[in-house]
Chain A
Amino acid sequence: MLNLEAKLREDIWEAKVSAATRDGFGKGLVEAGDADARIVALSADLTESTRVEEFKKKYPERFIEVGVAEQNMATVAAGMANYGKIPFITSYAAFSPGRNWEQIRTTIALNDVPVIVCGMHSGVSVGPDGATHQMLEDIALMRAMPNMVVISPCDSEEGRKATLAAAKLGKPVYMRFGREKTAIMTTAETPFEIGKANILYGGDTSVCAIFATGALVHNALLAAKQLESEGVSVSVINIHTIKPLDKEIVVREAKRAGAVVTVEEHQVAGGLGSAIAETLAQEAPTPIEFIGVHDMYGQSGEPKELIEHYGMGVSHIVAAVKKVTTRR
Chain B
Amino acid sequence: MEALTDAEVKRLENKAGAIRQTIIEMLVAAGSGHTAGPLGMADIFTALYFHVLKHDPHNPAWEERDRLILSNGHITPVRYAAMAHAGYFPVEECLTLRKFGSRLQGHPERDKLPGVETTSGPLGSGLSQASGYAYAARMDGKTFRVFCAMSDGEQQEGNTWEGAMFAGKYRLSNLTAIMDRNNIQIDGMTEDIMPLEPLRDKYEAFGWHVLEVDGHNIPQFIQACDEASAIAEKPTLILAHTIPGKGIRAIERDYRWHGKPPSKEEAVLFLNELRTMEGKVASEHQ
Contact = CB atoms under 8 A, between A and B. Distances in A.
B119 A79 contact: no
Interface in B121-144: 121-122, 125, 128-137, 139
A110 B129 CA distance: 14
Interface stretch (B12-20, B162-170, B176-184): B162-170
Interface stretch (B92-100, B110-118, B278-286): B110-118
Interface in A55-75: 61-62, 64, 66-67, 69, 71-72, 75
A71 B125 contact: yes
Interface residues of A, number: 28
Nearest to A102: B122
A79 B159 contact: no
B137 A111 contact: no
Contacts of B139: 40, 61-62, 85
Nearest to B122: A106
Contact of A79 (B69, B109, B122, B158): B69
A69 B137 CA distance: 22
A78 B122 CA distance: 14
Interface residues of B, number: 28
A67 B133 contact: no
Contacts of B134: 79
A76 interface: yes
Contacts of B129: 75-76, 78-79, 82, 107
A188 to B, nearest CB: 32
A85 B139 CA distance: 10
B120 interface: yes
B109 A76 contact: no
Contacts of A66: 162, 166
B121 A111 contact: no
A82 B159 contact: no
A191 to B, nearest CB: 33
A82 B137 CA distance: 10
B119 A69 contact: no
Interface in A71-112: 71-72, 75-85, 87, 102-103, 106-107, 110-112
B111 A69 contact: no
25 contacts: A62-B139, A67-B165, A69-B165, A71-B125, A71-B159, A71-B162, A72-B165, A75-B125, A75-B128, A76-B132, A78-B125, A78-B129, A79-B118, A79-B131, A79-B132, A79-B133, A79-B134, A79-B135, A80-B132, A80-B136, A83-B132, A85-B139, A102-B122, A103-B122, A110-B119
Given A72-B162, A83-B133, 10 more contacts: A40-B139, A71-B158, A75-B159, A75-B163, A76-B128, A79-B69, A82-B129, A87-B132, A107-B120, A112-B110
Interface of B: 69, 109-111, 117-122, 125, 128-137, 139, 158-159, 162-163, 165-166
The 10 closest A-B pairs by CB, nearest first: A79-B132, A72-B162, A75-B128, A76-B132, A79-B129, A79-B133, A83-B136, A80-B136, A69-B162, A80-B132
